[in-house]
Amino acid sequence: MTKILVLFIIFVSMTSNSFAKTGKGELKLSKYTMETLMMYMYGRANPKWSDGVDKKNKPMLMTVSEDGKSSHYYYCPYKQCQTGNYVYKSIKACEKSSNGSPCYLFATKRRIKWKNSINTKHTNISSKLLKEPYEIAKIIQDLGFYDGDITELPGINYKTGAIDDNKKITGKIDNYDYPSLIASLSGSHKSGWKDYVEGGNEQYKAWVMVRRKDQDMSWSFEADNTSWNDVIKKAFNRCNEYIDQKPKTYPDKAICILYYKGTTPTTDNEKIETARIYYGEGKANDFFKKYPYVLNKKIDLIKTDENEESTDMISQIKQLKKLLDEGVLTKEEFEKAKKKVLN
């Protein structure tokens, strides 16, 4: 009985310690995780809950994946909060979106606990620096956790801890010429768009997005010199991985949509045709009927009048020919699609 009790105590102790493990190693945060860390420092509240949304809160703890791409944190909107078993919960929440990369404790309150070759002891971030977010970012970078350009990080709203997409962390106004759709989205989208436009001289570039239940958009892009067909398929494949990883995050029957070829916005017909090629006509049509707001204009996907059918047939064939000329469709795919339209 004593042995069993001792073993049980050891097991509980080992289990608790394994979930409370502080990270160590040469961690490099992605830009998205770095932005999340900045919000954590201010105790940015989750807009899904009312408590603390309009003010700074107390940061409790933050966990980060080993590859630096996934994270999760807890904050406290009250005068007193108990830590409880939140480290375990945060690690599990972090690992839900880490694609297999294990998560560990990165910080408690404003104390950086993850150990690397520079941060051999815990580093405290003074609350006095909250009015100077650039200085906080500089400390994180000097500790070796971020290799990106911190001057390109978005600003932080001092009162709420929210990302301020209208200015940089340095306080400078962001005057970049974004397309109107991208300009209406988050700093992550804007940062991604800059990489998309300025990242290389590839001949073919495709930007794909899918709307989530919270009305934000997950995005992906691909760029290479092979063909429109290849680059669009790769962009769709990557975007679709987001839906597969977190299906409950997206609306029923959600699909990814091609929004830009290069920097040119796609037409409604291009959105429909590429979706049909990737997902099949039935699934694509069902989606556009259920979520017509994706398109600029309301389009009847099934024509009943003969004249409308004839006009639509010609339009579809012209659109298919355009996709063929641009390399989106192969000759075989074009002939197959044209035959389907004519039949």
3-state secondary structure the chain: CHHHHHHHHHHHHHHHHHHCCECECCCCCCHHHHHHHHHHHCCCCCCCCCCCCCCCCEEEEEEEECCCCCEEEEEECCCCCCCCCHHHHHHHHHHHCCCCCCEEEEEECCEECCECCCCCCCEECCHHHHHCHHHHHHHHHHCCCCCCCHHHCEEECCCCCCEEEEEECCCCECCCCCCHHHHCCCHHHHHHHHHHHHCCCCCEEEEEEEECCCCCEEEEEEEECCCHHHHHHHHHHHHHHHHHHCHHHCCCCCCCEEEEECCEECCHHHHHHHHHHHHCHHHHHHHHHHCHHHCCCCCCCCCCCHHHHHHHHHHHHHHHHHHHHCCCCCHHHHHHHHHHHHC
For the segment 303-317, what is each residue's pLDDT rounded down to a tens digit? 433 444 555 677 778
Q: What is the model's pLDDT at position 310?
A: 53
Lowest-pLDDT range of 25-29, 185-189, 199-203: 185-189
- Using the predicted structure, report yes or no on whether residue 19 has a pLDDT greater than 50: no
pLDDT, tens digit, 9 for 90 and up, residues 129-165: 998 999 999 999 999 999 988 988 888 888 888 888 7
- Span 20-44, average pLDDT: 91
What pLDDT band is residue 186 in, cutting at 50, 70 and 90?
confident
Q: What's residue 237's pLDDT?
A: 92
**What are the tens digits of pLDDT across the range 79-88?**
887 767 889 9
Would you kindly state where each structural domain of the chain is located, as residue ranges? 22-168, 181-302
Which pLDDT score, from 0 to 100, does residue 134 have? 92
What does pTM read for this prediction?
A: 0.58
Higher-scoring residue by pLDDT: 299, 189: 189
pLDDT higher for 120 or 15?
120
Count Cβ atoms within 10 A of the Cβ of residue 80 and give its class: 0-12 exposed, 13-18 middle, 19 or more buried: exposed
Q: How many CB atoms are located within 10 Å of the residue 171 CB?
A: 11
Whether the pLDDT of residue 177 is over 90: the answer is no
| Whether 217 contacts 210, CB under 8 Å | yes
For position 6, what pLDDT does the model report? Answer: 39
In this predicted structure, the answer to whether residue 18 has a pLDDT above a threshold of 60 is no
Q: Report, as an integer, the average pLDDT of 199-206.
A: 89
- Average pLDDT of 86-97? 91
Distance CA 315, CA 338 (A): 11
96 alpha carbon, distance to own chain's centre = 14
Q: Over the stretch 204-246, which tens digit does the pLDDT of each residue have?
A: 999 999 988 767 788 889 999 999 999 999 999 999 988 888 8
pLDDT, one tens digit per residue, over 247-296 is: 888 888 899 999 999 999 999 999 999 999 999 988 999 999 888 888 87
